[in-house]
Structure 1
Amino acid sequence: MPSAAERTRTLVQSTCSAVLLVPGLSVAHPGQLMPESRSVGPEGDVFLGFPADSPVVRAATRAQGDELTAVLEITDVAPVSVPHRVRGRARVAGWLTAVPGPAQPGRMTLRLEFGEASVDDLWGYEEVEHEDFRDAVADPLVTHEAELLQHLHAAHGDRMATLRALLGERGDCGCAGGGTGAVPLALDRFGLRVRFVEGGGACFDARFEFPEPVRDIAGLRRAMHTLFEAAAC
C-alpha cells in the first residue's frame, strides 16, 4: 500500500480542492483562499501560487519577519458518481512567507514551511513526519487518475462488475438480483479500489492489487487486462 507520506504528497500535488487557512484572516468569498497552483520543494516545503492582490498574499507580505502560521487543507472527492464521494482529506500546517519576486505577471508564490501533516483517507488516519513527506514521491498515476476512473466507469462498467467474482463469499450480497453496481473509486500504482453498491443503497469497498506496481499508463493497461482475465476465469 502507499505510505501515508506518499498519499499526502499525492494529494498536495493533485488537482483536488484545497484552501489555505490563515488564523485571523477573513475574506469576501472562499475562493480567495484557494491556491491556483501547488508544488513541493526539495526540502518538503509547499509552494502555493496566488493572485498578487490576494488577501493571503497581503497577509504574508505584511508579516515579513514575523511567524505567520497557516494550514493547507485538501479535500479529495471521487471523480465518479458514487455514494459517499469524499475519499479523504489531507492537512499540512506550517509557517507562511512570500517568495521574493513575482512568479509571473499578476501572480505571487507563497512558501508554506512544513510543520506537521496528516492524512485521513480510505486507508485510515495517519500523521506524517517531515522527512517522510520530503522524501516521498507522488503516485505516478495522479495526473491521470480522474480521467482513468471516469473511463473505466463509463466504458467498462460491465467488466467492473465481473470483479465481484474475485471476492468469493464476500461478493455474494445475498440480495435479489445480485449486486446493483460496481464503481471504480480509487486508483494508484499498487491497485484499484472498487465500491460495490447493493440494493437499498448499502455498499462496500474491495481492493484489487496489481501483480506488481505500475509505473505508467502502459503498465496500467497490462495490469487491468490481467485483473479482468482473472475475473473471467
Structure 2
Amino acid sequence: MPSAAERTRTLVQSTCSAVLLVPGLEGAHPWQSVPEARTVGPEGDLFLEFLADAPVVRAATHAQDDELTAVLEITDVAPVSVPHRIRGRARVSGWLTSVPGMTRPGRMMLRLETAEAYVDDLWGAGGVEPEELKDAAADPLAVHETELLQHLHAAHGDQLRTLSTLLGERAGEQRDVVPLALDRFGLRVRCTGAECFDARFDFPEPVRDVTELRRAMHTLFEAAR
C-alpha cells in the first residue's frame, strides 16, 4: 500500500479542493484562500499560487521571516456519484512566506515551509514528517484518475458488476459496483445495496503508467469473468 507520505503528496499535487488557513484572516472570503496552483518543491515545501491582492498574500508579505503560521487543508471527493463521497482529508502545516518573481504577473507565489502533515483517507490515518514528504513521490496515475474512474463508471458498468463474483458470499445482493479509487497498486470499488461496503482488488504488480494499467484491468476483468 502507499505510505502516508505518498498519499499526502498525491493529494497535494492533485486537483482536490484545498484552502489555506491563516490565523487572523477568518473574515476573508473563502475563495480568496484557495490557491490557483500548488506544487511540492525539492525540499518538501509547498509552493502555492494566489492572486497578488489576496489577503493571504498581504499577510505573508508583511510578516517577518518564519513568523506567519498557516495550514493547507485538502479535501478529496470521489469524482463519480457514490454514497459517502469524501475519500479523505489531508493537512499540511508550517510557516508561510512570499516568494516574489516566481510566477506570472498579477499573481504571487507563497512558500509553506512544512512543519508537519497528516492524512486520513480510505487507507487509514497517519502523520507525516517533512523529510518523509520530501522523499515521497505522487502516485503516477493521480493525474489520470478522475478521467479513468469516470470512464469506468460510464462505459464499463457491466464489467464492474462482474467483480462481485470475486467477493464470494460477501457480495450478497448489492445492486451496483461503483469505481471509487485507483492507484498504481489496484482498484477500489464501493458496493451498494442491502449494505454498503468497499472492496479492494490489487494488481499482480504495481503499474507505472496508463498502458500498464490497461493490461492490469484486462487481467482483473478476465479473472472475474
- TM-score between the two structures when normalised by the length of structure 2: 0.98
Q: Which residue of 2 aligns with 1:198?
A: 193
- Give how far 1:29 is off: 1.9
> Which of 179, 182, 197 is the aligned partner of 1:184?
179
Structure 1: any 5+ residue segments left out of the alignment? none
Please report how far the alpha carbon of residue 103 of structure 1 lies from its aligned counterpart in structure 2 after TM superposition: 1.0
2:165 is aligned to 165
Measured after TM superposition, the shift of residue 153 of structure 1 is 0.3
Structure-1 residue corresponding to 2:218: 225
Deviation track 1:3-41 (CA, whole Å, cap 9, x = no partner) reads 100000000000000000001113442100100000000
Q: 1:193 to 1:66 in 2, by over 3 A?
A: closer
Pairwise CA distance, 1:102: 5.2
Question: Which residue matches 2:125?
Answer: 125
What is aligned with 2:206?
A: 213
Structure 1 residues 67-86: aligned runs within 5 Å: 67-86=67-86
Secondary structure at the counterpart of residue 127 of structure 1: strand
Give the distance between the partners of 1:101 and 1:53, measured in 2 at CA.
15
State the Cα RMSD in Å. 1.0
Render the CA deviation track for 1:67-101: whole Å, top value 9, x for unaligned.
10000000000000000000000000000000022
2:89 maps to 89
SS at 2:167 equivalent: helix
1:228 aligned counterpart, secondary structure: helix
Q: Do the aligned residues in 2 keep the contact of 1:52 with 1:107 (CA within 8 Å)? A: yes
Specify every segment of 5 or more residues in structure 2 that has no aligned partner in the other structure, as ranges: none
Identity %: 75
Supply the distance in 1 between the matched residues of 2:222 and 2:187 (Cα, whole angstroms).
Answer: 15
Large movers: runs of 4+ above 3 Å: none
Instruction: Tell me the CA shift for residue 65 of structure 1.
Output: 2.7
Q: 1-side partners of 2:113 and 2:66: how far apart? A: 13
Of 102-111 and 40-49, deviating more is 102-111
Q: What is the Cα deviation at residue 66 of structure 1? A: 5.2
8 Å contact from structure 2 (residues 66, 97) kept in 1 = no
Q: Distance in 2 between the 1:2 and 1:116 partners? A: 18
SS in 2 for 1:214: coil
**2:40 alignment partner in structure 1:** 40
Contact 1:27-1:55 at 8 Å conserved across structures: no
CA distance in 1, matches of 2:206, 2:27: 43
The code of the aligned residue for 2:191 comes to F
Task: Give the Cα separation in 2 of the matches to 1:27 and 1:105.
Answer: 26
Q: Does 1:112 align with 2:105?
A: no
The whole-number CA distance in structure 2 between the counterparts of 1:131 and 1:66 is: 18
